[in-house]
Amino acid sequence: MKQEGFIFVLMPFDSVFDDIYSFGIKQTANKCGFYCERVDEQIFEGSILTRIYNQIEKADIIIADLSNKNPNVFYETGYAHALNKNVILLTQKSEDIPFDLKHYPHIIYKNNIGSLSESLELKLNWFKENENNERADESGFIEFYNDGKRIKENGTVTFNIIEHQHPFIEDKEELENTNHISFTLNLYNSGNKIMNTISDLGVEIENIFNESRLNDYEEREIIQLPDNKILIPSGYVDLIYPQSWSSHKFYIGTKSQFKELPNEMLLRIYKENGVDTIPLNIEYRKVKIE
C-alpha cells in the first residue's frame, strides 16, 4: 500500500488508553495507509519533551486525544496548531474540550473504539483525497461552491437571469432594463483555523458588453483588462471561521447590456502570496421574481 504520511499521536500516558490507541487509532491509520506512532513506542536518546516536539514538527497529521483534560496533551496540541499542522482532535466526552478549542472539529467517541475507528477513517481518507489541495496559507482548506455544488476546474457554474415581473410596464425594452444577471459564489473553510488570506475575488470574462455597462458606475464597478477581457471584483472578503461559510454575489449586468452572453469565465482568487485562477464554463437559469 502507498505510504500516505506520518501520523504522530498525542494522548495521556495511561494504560486505559492502550486499546484506544492500538485498535481505534493505529490500526485505523495503518488501514488508511499511514505510518502511525506515539512517543512511548520510539527508541531515542535525550529529553522526551524534545522528542515530542521534534515528532510534532515532522508529522504530516497530529491526532490528539483530549480526554480527561490532560495538561501535557493540551500544551502539545497548542504547539501543533502553532506550527499549522493538520490536527485531528479526539475526546471521550464533549465537556473535555476547553472553550478555546470548541470551534475546532473533533471526534467524540464515548469510549467506543468501533465508533472512533469509523469516524477517524473518514477523516484520514479526506486528507488523502485532498493531499494535493493547496492549504490556504496559515488558514485552512477553502472550498468554493455554486448552486450547492463544489466548483472544480473546467466545471460549470450557474448564472441567474433575474426576470422581474412588472404587469404595469408594457415597453419591452424598459422591462429588459429591470432584469439582470448575477452569480453567487460560496466559500467554505473546512480547515481548523480562521481563513484570512484571501483579499478579493474576481470574475474575468470576455468583453462582450455594450457601452452602457462599461460606463455604469452606479452598479458594481468593472475593470477593463488587456486582450478584450473584463474583471468584475467582489470586494473585500471577510474572515471565514473554521467549518463556516461566506457568500459573495457578483452583479454581472442587465441582460440588455450584453451584446451576447458569455459561456466561459475565469475565477480569480487574490491572496497574500499571489493569484489563483480556476477556469469555468457558464450555464444560465431564468429566475422570475414577482
Place of cell 468583453: 207
Interatomic CA distance for residues 10 and 48, integer angstroms: 13
How many residues are recorded in the chain? 290
pTM over 0.85: no
The three grid cell numbers given for residue 38, joined into one nine-digit string: 506515539
The domains found in the chain, sorted by start residue, are 5-129 (3.40.50.450), 142-289 (2.60.40)
Q: Identify which of 138, 277, 272 has the alpha carbon closest to the alpha carbon of residue 195.
A: 138
Distances (CA, A) of 158 to 54, 164, 179, 252: 48, 18, 16, 12
User: Do the Cβ atoms of 24 and 120 come closer than 8 Å?
Assistant: yes
Per-residue burial over 251-279, b if 16 or more Cβ lie within 10 Å, else e, is ebbbbbbeeeebeebebbbbbeeeeeebe
Burial class (CB in 10 A: 0-12, 13-18, 19+), 91: buried
Widest CA span in the chain: 87
**How do the pLDDT tens digits run along the chain, 290 residues long?**
456 789 999 998 888 888 999 999 999 999 999 999 988 776 555 677 888 888 899 898 999 999 988 999 999 998 988 888 888 999 988 888 776 676 666 788 988 999 899 989 988 888 877 664 444 334 346 889 999 999 888 999 999 988 765 555 555 555 555 678 888 999 988 766 667 778 889 999 998 877 656 555 444 577 888 888 889 888 777 778 777 888 888 888 887 787 888 899 999 988 766 788 899 999 999 888 76
Interatomic CA distance for residues 246 and 250, integer angstroms: 13
